[in-house]
Amino acid sequence: DAKTTQPTSMDCAEGRAANLPCNHSTISGNEYVYWYRQIHSQGPQYIIHGLKNNETNEMASLIITEDRKSSTLILPHATLRDTAVYYCIVRVDRAAGNKLTFGGGTRVLVKP
Amino acid sequence: GAVVSQHPSWVICKSGTSVKIECRSLDFQATTMFWYRQFPKQSLMLMATSNEGSKATYEQGVEKDKFLINHASLTLSTLTVTSAHPEDSSFYICSARDSLAPTYNEQFFGPGTRLTVL
């Protein structure tokens, strides 16, 4: 699976949009971009995933650049409950084993 | 939505004892479950892949005789930490795939089990 690079931490203001970048310059054509988050002392939670088109669901939007070498997770209106570590993972879908390899993630602190 | 539970949520044990952690998929069948370990302020590290009815597949560096995995049914996998020592103190998290869902490759995570070995 391709390696990802994320900022170690970032702060954002409550009620504002939070934009979380992720670089995956070695991504292959059949690899998807997944985002998970982990609130303190809990298991990770799936947020969204995509291949090349932008995606949106009730939690967030995922913007993938045309060359697919980077992406941005957007939390449209950050709340205090969105404080968590956010993990960007790229992997082949339906791959044998379906392993998820977690990197360091971005520690997001939403401030009042 | 798919729910995965773990039991216990936390456990404290003496060095040298064995501890069993259960991972259950509550509303779906899971032929594959995964066990992760997370040390404080670190990321999740995959320990092993648990396959229903067959032997688990361990990641490099994980001792299979120390971390015994049993996946005897489509809804239950257990991780037993044998002869636990203080360095085994960690947050253990399981995840499961819904074998029958169209998005069967999605993993749903349990809430984790915090193990403290004295």
pLDDT tens, B42-65? Answer: 999 999 998 888 889 999 999 999
Mean pLDDT of B4-32: 95
- Helix, coil or strand: residue B86: helix
pLDDT over threshold 80, residue A27: yes
* B46·A99 Cβ contact <8 A: yes
d(CA B25, CA B29): 7
**Do B49 and A43 lie within an 8 Å CB cutoff?**
no
Q: Do the chains contact at A98 and B91, CB–CB below 8 Å?
A: no
Q: Is A29 on the interface with B (CB under 8 A)?
A: no
The answer to whether residue A96 scores a pLDDT higher than 60 is no
* For residue B35, pLDDT beyond 90: yes
In a mutagenesis test of the A interface, which of B45, B55, B98, B105 is the best target, namely the one with the most A β-carbons within 10 Å?
Answer: B105
Q: How confident is the model at residue A93 (pLDDT cuts 50, 70, 90)?
A: low
Q: What is the DSSP code string of A27-93?
A: --TTEEEEEEEE-TTS--EEEEEESSS-EE-SS-EEEE-TTSSEEEEEESS--GGG-EEEEEEEEET
Q: How far apart are CA A77 and CA A59, in angstroms?
A: 10
Which residues in B lie closer than 8 A to residue A87 (C-beta atoms)?
43
Per DSSP, the three-state class of B84 is: coil
| Mutate which: A4, A36, A42, vs B, most B CBs within 10 A | A42
Across B1-12, average pLDDT:
93
Q: Cβ contacts of residue B21 below 8 Å, gap of 6+?
A: B6, B7, B8, B11, B78, B79, B80, B81, B92, B94, B113, B115
Contact A44 B93 (CB under 8 A): yes
Which of these, A19, A12, A11, lies nearest to A76 by C-alpha position? A19
Q: What is the mean pLDDT of chain A?
A: 92
Residue B106: both structure tokens together = 């999605």
B62 CB-contact burial (10 Å; exposed 0-12 / middle 13-18 / buried 19+):
middle
- CB within 8 Å: B105 and A98: yes
Confidence of residue A92 (pLDDT cuts 50, 70, 90): confident
For CA atoms A47, A90, B59, B89, the dihedral sign is: negative
CA distance A54 to A89: 16
pLDDT band at B101 (very low <50, low <70, confident <90, very high): low
Give the pLDDT confidence score for residue B67 in this predicted structure: 97
Taking CB atoms and an 8 Å limit, are B46 and A100 in contact across chains? Answer: yes
pLDDT at res. B102: 60
Residue A49 makes CB contacts below 8 A (sequence gap 6+) with A32, A33, A34, A35, A55, A62
Q: What does the alpha-carbon distance between residue A65 and residue A53 come to, in Å, rounded to a whole number?
A: 9
Q: Which of B44, B57, B90, B114 is the best substitution to test chain A (most A C-beta atoms within 10 A)? A: B44
Which of B114, B116, B76, B107 has its CA nearest to residue B1? B107
